[in-house]
Chain A
Amino acid sequence: MSDTQQREAHWKKTRTLMIIHLSIWLFFAFIVHTFANSLNSISFIGFPLGFYMAAQGSEFAFVIQLFIFVKQQDKIDREFGMAEADDA
């Protein structure tokens, strides 16, 4: 592959990864909280689930999601030879 093709393929994968992570974000940031009322009738480790998601659940998801994202994006960068040198 030429450098231009490499770059295009790299960006395509990067964009897909972006869409995946923003969808997960959309779910935990907005969708679960829209249903907080119904979720509250479910009990999760002693909490009403709607309250739990707002107080802890979504935040947990964001933290875990970001550490995974960092790994995935780095893998994509390396796959197409777009990563920086390791000592950088």
Chain B
Amino acid sequence: MSFFKPKGDFIENLPRIYGLYTGGFLLFVLLMAVLEQMGVGADTIGILFVGFTIVIYATIGWLSRTMQVDAYYVAGRQVPPVFNGMATAADWMSGASFVAMAGGIYMGGHAYLAFVVGWTGGYVLVAVLMAPYLRKFGCYTVPDFIGTRYGGNTARLLAVLVLVVASFTYVTAQINATGTIASRALQIPFEVGVWFGLLGILLCSMLGGMRAVTWTQVAQYIVLIIAYLIPVFWMSTKQGFGFIPQFAYGEAVARIGELETLHQVGALKPAADVSSAFPGLKALVTPHAAAGDGMAAWKFVSLAACMMLGTASLPHILMRYFTTKSVRAARNSVAWSLFFIFLLYFTAPALATFTKLQILDPNLATSIIGKSVESVMALEWIQKWAAVGMIAVKDANADGLLQINEFFMRADIVVLATPEIAGLPYVISGLVAAGGMAAAMSTADGLLLAIANALSHDLYYKIIDPKAETKKRLIVARVLLIIIGALGAIVASMKLTGILGAVAWAFCFAMSGLFFPLVLGVWWKRANRQGAIAGMAIGFISGSLYLYMVKAGGMEPWIGLDHLRFGIIGAGASLIAMVVVTLMTPAPDAETQAMVDEVRVPKGDTIIASH
């Protein structure tokens, strides 16, 4: 019965436990399909899907409760690489990846793929430059590394500050996403949905810290990847692109090219007064595969660069590699993380392509462009999404037919609405809602824990009260978790930014303050405290200032670096400041240099002894 108690047994039994869990989840999906056939309503199925999965995660969270420091902060450092890979993938793929990415590609075409390239390529930096060395260090948090490597409370405090700003920006977007999904699936108001989502998130993380988050994230990965892949396989089989369409949708891309000419995508643009009547909704005006001229290539690579350096600086990702048994396992698990992330990310463009084909291709029964406005308005999915203001149809030229510039949609809904557009049974929509919930919850868990751990370990234990007992430290950690979660929910319920804006900012904040101090801490022995402090402070301040000037100050962006790309300015300033200040001040002492030498070899004890 008690799977979670005996240490060795539990780890050895992981494949069996999660195998059973996956089988159980698939059975549950089948059961829902049977219920749907028996006439159970769509609403009930949605509630069962979201409710059932949250109960499972909460149960895992409860079973993983602990009062040990090592288990709470780093899951006892015993997570096998493949499982840590799945947990990292869930930690990583947020509501934005799951819900918004395919929609972004649908609307933005090639330019948007910069996110896909950036959010995978960043792992090369994590594996080559960071993860193995941070694991060897043996720290509990990312500021713990900065504080020990460079010494002194100022460096530690600055790292905590950057971490809190970056992660908090990110976590509000995730709580917002859980609120959106919960409110739709459970039919409660958004403001209530936000607090409901937070409750689920806290149930997963509060009692067991990193240990609980690890094992729920593995469970959440399994749900989210099943939920993402099944609709794509289904649609592709239906449209005759074979069962594994990721390799075979080239034809679909070519067909979309023909249809874009037919429907005049890009040539027909909605009139300004029509589109301004539907704030947040967009008509399709960007060709799918064209790369664009002029600044397009620079915009692509600069966005990808921000996402990559941001990936390698985000503490909630880096801290996942503190949980493995060895340095080798940490390195290995980065490769597995990327593999599991890749499964979703190389599917997203396929999903966007198939959905677009469904809507554009007059040979398909599901198409709407070119059909009569009356028949389109009669479709159930159009009515349903139009009722909540996510879709709008406006026959601007009054010819009775729907043109490409007369159909408006919120990009975020593409993944959620695709099963309905393709005419798949409702059970698939319920599954997708559960998947989106898993994606948003798992990322929120990791982020909240990163913030609370940095505050409880680095600020409270290391700076304020170094003599605190274990019990007191772990209670402080939990109280902080609740406070930060509540703050996140309050900010989320104010709906300040769209899901994706806030996510891109988190990456830029993290890279502005942390990327170079982390990398150079390992790769440049000469780097010293003064340099790191300058790097963090100047990088973070110049990045934030640039964001403020571009977003609110009315400044013209330099060479196309808009508010999504301010990390380039921040990280650039950080690098220059760190190198210049380091070279102007004395080299670090012999003890610190010996520490860097030690970090560079896997064998031997960790730098920070177990405490």
Contacts and interface: CB of A to CB of B under 8 A. Distances in A.
Contacts of B602: 77, 82-84
Contacts of A82: 601-603
Interface in A1-53: 7, 10-11, 14, 18, 21-22, 25, 28-30, 33-37, 40, 43-48, 50-52
A3 to B, nearest CB: 10
A37 B111 CA distance: 12
Interface stretch (B337-345, B373-381, B437-445): B337-345
Contacts of A28: 121
B253 A50 contact: no
A88 B81 CA distance: 12
B523 to A, nearest CB: 8
A33 B300 contact: yes
Interface string B81-116: 000000000000000000000000000001001101
A50 B250 CA distance: 12
Contact of A55 (B304, B331, B346, B523): B346
A79 interface: no
Nearest to B334: A66
Contacts of B328: 74, 77, 83-84, 88
A16 B331 CA distance: 17
B603 A70 contact: no
Interface stretch (B212-220, B284-292, B394-402, B415-423): B284-292
> Which of B125, B127, B339 has the most CB atoms of chain A within a 10 A radius of its CB?
B127
Given A54-B110, A59-B116, A73-B331, A47 B250 contact: yes
A23 to B, nearest CB: 11
Among the interface residues A25, A35, A55, A67, which one has the most CB atoms of the partner chain B within 10 A? Answer: A55
Contacts of B334: 66, 70
Nearest to A24: B124
Nearest to A56: B346
Given A7-B600, A54-B110, A59-B346, A69 B254 contact: no
Contacts of A70: 127, 331-332, 334-335
B224 interface: no
A60 B528 CA distance: 38
A51 B291 contact: yes
Contact of A37 (B253, B291, B600): B291
Contacts of B251: 46
**What's the interface size class on A, roughly?**
35 or more
A85 B350 CA distance: 43
A49 B339 CA distance: 22
A73 B330 CA distance: 12
A29 B253 contact: no
Given A34-B301, A46-B254, A70-B335, A84 B124 contact: no
Contacts of A35: 297
B137 to A, nearest CB: 14
A46 B603 CA distance: 48
Nearest to A55: B349
B110 A7 contact: no
A34 B297 contact: yes
B308 A29 contact: yes
B110 A51 contact: yes
Contacts of A10: 600-601
Contacts of B304: 29-30, 33
A56 B349 contact: yes
Contact of A33 (B117, B335, B603): B117
Contacts of A25: 121, 124-125, 128
A83 B335 CA distance: 18
Given A36-B291, A66-B338, A67-B335, A84 B603 contact: yes
B112 to A, nearest CB: 9
Contacts of A66: 123-124, 127, 334-335, 338
B116 A63 contact: no
A88 B127 contact: no
Contact of A56 (B114, B132, B246, B327): B246
A66 B113 CA distance: 21
B532 interface: no
A55 B603 CA distance: 39
Contacts of B600: 7, 10-11, 14
B591 interface: no
Counting chain A CB atoms within 10 Å of each CB, the highest count among B325, B334, B342 belongs to B342
Contact of A45 (B113, B250, B308): B250
A28 to B, nearest CB: 7
Interface of A: 7, 10-11, 14, 18, 21-22, 25, 28-30, 33-37, 40, 43-48, 50-52, 54-56, 58-60, 62-63, 65-67, 69-70, 73-74, 77, 81-85, 88
Q: Which A-B residue pairs are the 6 nearest by beta carbons? A: A46-B250, A36-B291, A54-B113, A55-B349, A47-B250, A66-B335
Given A11-B600, A66-B335, 17 more contacts: A18-B523, A29-B118, A30-B304, A36-B297, A36-B300, A46-B249, A51-B253, A51-B288, A54-B114, A59-B116, A59-B346, A62-B123, A63-B335, A66-B124, A66-B127, A77-B601, A77-B602
9 contacts: A25-B124, A29-B301, A30-B301, A33-B297, A59-B346, A66-B338, A70-B127, A70-B332, A84-B326
Interface of B: 110, 113-114, 116-118, 120-121, 123-125, 127-129, 132, 246-251, 253-254, 288-293, 296-297, 300-301, 304-305, 308, 325-328, 331-332, 334-335, 338-339, 342, 345-346, 349-350, 523, 597, 600-603
